[in-house]
Chains A and B, each alone.
Chain A
Amino acid sequence: MIRKRQWTWVASVAGLAAAVSLMAVAFGVSANRSNAAPQHSHAVGTLRAVLDTVDFLDPQQAYTGQAWWAMWDVYETLITYRHVDGGAGYKLVPGLARSLPTVSANGLTYKFKLRKGLRYSDGSKVKASDFKYTIKRGFLATGQGVGFYTGIVGAEEFQKNLTGDIPGIKTNNARRTITIKLTKRRGDFLTILALIFAAPVPTGTPSAIQNGTIPSTGPYRIINYDPSRGFSMVRNTHFKPTKYIPRGNPNRVDVTFNGDANAAVQKVIDGQADYTNAAIPPDRIANARSRGQLKLRAAANTYYFWMNTTQAPFDKLQVRKAVNMAIDRQAMVTLVWGGLGRPTQNVLPPTYPSYKKLTLYSRNVSKATQMITAAGARGAHVTVWTRAVDDAVTAGQYYTSVLNDIGLNARLTILPRSTYYSTIGNENTHAQTGWARWLEDYPHPLDWFDVLLNGNRITAQDNNNYAWFNNKKINKEIEALKKEPNLTPAVNARWTKVEKEIMQQAPWAPWSNRVFPEFFTKQMGCIHMQALYGFDLSRVCRK
């Protein structure tokens, strides 16, 4: 008779063997699974997309590329961008407005007229006064984009008191007119109006976050939003296509959330999804390319490490310069993106006319170490902040090891993506350094320098100037350039100079302009990339 302890041993070994066998089977099944996409004609029917997440599906709140990708076809703005490929996609065209606005000679007054017969997806009429309500709602809801609209007459007062009117916006529902008056001329104001923050919503929409429940004006409307699962987009039956805004090919778009890039890519390979914009794991790029369609999108973006110029040891210029000299930017592009990116030391990406490649900091780790010692920062405790997304964690770990290599005492803190930006943008956090990226909201240098590096725009909370960079001379130049209505060669030359002066102060250690992989099944066709919003789902088809 076998004793009890021998049975325990036998059972334990059998259990271990079973577990190993199951894992081997799982790998084998995963490797051999075939691409079983449904058979369709050219019609798309339902487009199945996998995104990692969206922050909000409320136009006055959302501020991520993924959310805007979806909502560009849901919430229309007075003016919008063309549904075309390449640089032509940056051209502003009428959206809800009948035409581009008339602008007064002094650049302070913009007049729009809405198209006739506009309706929301619930059938209610789109009124001119809804635009004013929308701007007010942004302030009431402390939306992330409200800073763009404080230049409207009366907006700053409304932001302080949250009651009353914004006299700078005058509307006439009968005539369908909207007149906007600014306090100061602003060269990027049209592009600001094209931001989804300014997409009209029905008057009376609660200022509390409304994810996917606000009636839409675009070709689709959102249904079934579940923050842990995803959402769907179905046709807005009250939408009428225009010359610039197409009806949209898919009848329905089902978006599933999956934060695991490997799993998202595998879903497309296995035919369980048609598209994902997940960061292809660097070790699977060739595999993905062979088993699907890998498109690369060169969106205007910069990935960087900010260094808080008000917090030791980064309050010392020598330390910030040392960090710039220590980072191996090409190695980071390889590690984090699998090579899908270009190293950079610039704030602006190369898509801008004012871009001139900067090579201020040659890599020299030993010199960087000496500079840290000379600055008296050797052994200084540093907390590196990053968010809980694979590429950001990888970049954060590498950056932490670099800081330790040059003599700092760095530790990594990883925050959930939902709280990351609000935490590092809060002055009470006293965050020293960390990961960040910027994808352009609109194609203008102001979207970079004014938002991210103008000391006058620093706020105690939800601050976007994570370096707390406040250089009076540079601030003054940015404010002056804000008034320039057009990006002439002379204006661009001034932006180039501003960028160089900023990087000489090194509030950032920029490291790459990423090239975004967009991954599709082999059955998808008509794949077009819009310059600002990425994969244009309205034009997609099946082969």
Chain B
Amino acid sequence: MAEHAVDPSLDTPALLAAEEHEVAIVGRSPWYLAWRRLRRNYVALVAFAVFCLIVLACAFAPVYAHHVAHTGPNDTHVAETVKVGGKEKVVIGGGAVYDPKTNTFDTSKSIIVLGPTWWHAHGRFVLGADNLGRDAAVRMLYGGRNSLIIGIGSAFICSVIAVILALLAGYYGGWVDWVISRFFDLIWAFPVLLLAIALGSALSVNGFHHFGIHIEPGSLWIPVLVISYVLIPYIGRPVRGQVLSLRQKEFVEAAVGQGAGPIRIMFSDLLPNVASTILVFFTLIVATDILTEAGLSYLGAGVRLPDASWGNLIASGQQQIHTAPWLAVAPGIAIVLTVLSLNIFGDGLRDALDPRAKVRIEH
């Protein structure tokens, strides 16, 4: 049997035949070939597994909160005590003490917030408490839920809108392409974060009540829609370019010649040919959206307090960076792991889906 090439993206039909014990060559779809290439990319698979683990952990946040930590994400436990390793500890203790007899304050003690109990308190305050006596681990998981909902939701909406606009622009060309391209340029002209902050801040106070759509101020729809909007060109422009080049291909001319309508051609002929690009962009834009949401929430224009998101947890934790740095570092690490795993998986997906990529690999 021939030696396999080290790089699975260089699988050839002959190689596959050899693997399949020299039976008759069966045609495989590009998706199958891509899947085979992907499943040999262990790094990408591990990254995807990490991402799935994070998503699952955050999805089960209510289960953890109810059955393990026995508290909600916004429940304060200021004057309460917790048994940690058999010892009673105050969730928030210390602080200046007023002596009414002398009318003075003893400032020899600062506030001490309960640190990580690491399961010595039967699942309560695993990562300690924050400055309001809330369970930091519960807020981390709920924060992750919100960040992932916003990241994945906005990526989906952004992709749908961008692809539709790109198909229209690339298929029709002419003035349609001109208008849509100018729309992309208009959004592109603004720094992404500044535009997102401006929109997020404006909508976060009164919500959105126009065109029959009613979104309350605290709704997650606000950051979802804001981030979707500002990142449309990031998918729209490259997909439009691909559609433009595909539009000139013979199969499209054939479809036109057979009397196929524009909608059929766009969605049955053009869309499948750009699907792999869209899929790769989708994974990468999810990572970008999670980072954008973190930035917005950090600046107060995203998820509204007291609801958690990884971004506003970093902002809140910053206040105690000297005495409880884990409150800011832990959500930061969560963001890094999530974005890193998505980017690595996205790279692997691109290698698997885009056959032309193998031409660019250097040996």
Contact = CB atoms under 8 A, between A and B. Distances in A.
Interface of A: 1, 3-6, 8-9, 12, 16, 19, 23, 27, 30, 260-262, 281-287, 289, 294, 296, 328, 331, 334-335, 337-340, 342, 383, 388, 390, 393-394, 396-398, 400-401, 404, 411-415, 515
B110 A411 contact: no
Nearest to B79: A331
Contacts of B109: 285-286
Contacts of A281: 319-320, 322
Nearest to B219: A411
B159 to A, nearest CB: 24
Contacts of B123: none
Nearest 5 A/B pairs, CB to CB? A339-B95, A339-B96, A282-B111, A331-B78, A283-B323
Given A261-B319, A401-B76, A413-B205, 12 more contacts: A5-B41, A8-B43, A282-B111, A283-B323, A286-B107, A294-B107, A338-B95, A339-B105, A394-B131, A397-B132, A401-B75, A411-B217
A57 B125 CA distance: 47
Given A339-B96, A397-B305, A414-B304, A286 B108 contact: yes
A396 B306 CA distance: 9
Given A340-B105, A388-B300, A397-B305, A383 B110 contact: no
Contacts of A390: 319
A5 B305 contact: no
B340 interface: yes
B105 A515 contact: yes
B336 interface: yes
A283 B304 contact: no
A393 B319 CA distance: 12
B8 to A, nearest CB: 10
A507 to B, nearest CB: 24
B160 interface: no
Contacts of A331: 78-79
Interface residues of B, number: 54
Interface stretch (B20-28, B173-181, B344-352): B344-352
B7 interface: yes
Contacts of A27: 325
Given A4-B361, A282-B131, A285-B111, A412 B323 contact: no
Nearest to A342: B98
B217 A339 contact: no
Contacts of A5: 41, 43-44, 347-348, 351
B117 interface: no
Interface string B5-41: 0110000000000000000000000000000000001
Contacts of A296: 105, 107
Contacts of B313: none
A393 B312 CA distance: 12
Q: Give the residue among A19, A390, A404, A411 with the most B Cβ atoms within 10 A.
A: A411
Contacts of B300: 388, 414
A283 B324 contact: yes
A458 to B, nearest CB: 23
7 contacts: A16-B336, A30-B322, A283-B320, A285-B109, A286-B109, A335-B92, A412-B306
A81 to B, nearest CB: 22
B217 A383 contact: yes
A3 B107 contact: no
A339 B306 contact: no
A192 B197 CA distance: 41
B92 A334 contact: yes
Interface of A is mostly: helix
B321 interface: yes
A3 B319 contact: no
A339 B320 contact: no
B340 A12 contact: yes
Contacts of B218: 411, 413
Interface of B is mostly: loop
A3 B7 contact: yes
B112 A283 contact: yes
Contacts of A289: 107-108
A340 B107 contact: yes
Given A335-B78, A338-B95, A339-B105, A283 B336 contact: no
B204 interface: yes
A411 B206 CA distance: 12
B324 A328 contact: no
A299 to B, nearest CB: 14
Interface string B64-107: 00000000001110110000000000001011111000000101
Nearest to A388: B300
B111 A339 contact: yes
A258 to B, nearest CB: 13
A185 to B, nearest CB: 36
Contacts of A4: 351, 361-362
B110 A338 contact: yes
B329 interface: yes
Contacts of A397: 74, 132, 305-306
Interface string B203-229: 011000000000001100000000000
Contact of A8 (B107, B112, B325, B344): B344
B113 interface: yes
B132 A284 contact: no
A283 B76 CA distance: 17
A518 to B, nearest CB: 12
A16 B344 CA distance: 14
B352 to A, nearest CB: 11
Nearest to B74: A401
A388 B204 CA distance: 14
B363 interface: yes
Contact of A401 (B131, B306, B325): B306
B344 A413 contact: no
B242 interface: no
A15 to B, nearest CB: 9
A6 B343 CA distance: 14
A283 B110 contact: yes
A285 B95 contact: yes
A328 B306 contact: no
Nearest to A517: B107
B111 A338 contact: yes
A394 B132 contact: yes
Contacts of A9: 43, 344
B305 A412 contact: yes
Interface string B229-247: 0000000000000000000
Given A6-B43, A328-B78, A401-B306, A23 B347 contact: no
Q: Give the residue among B111, B218, B343 with the most A Cβ atoms within 10 A.
A: B111
A401 B95 CA distance: 22
A287 B304 contact: no
Interface in B283-317: 300, 304-306
A412 B318 CA distance: 20
A334 B131 CA distance: 10
A27 B324 CA distance: 12
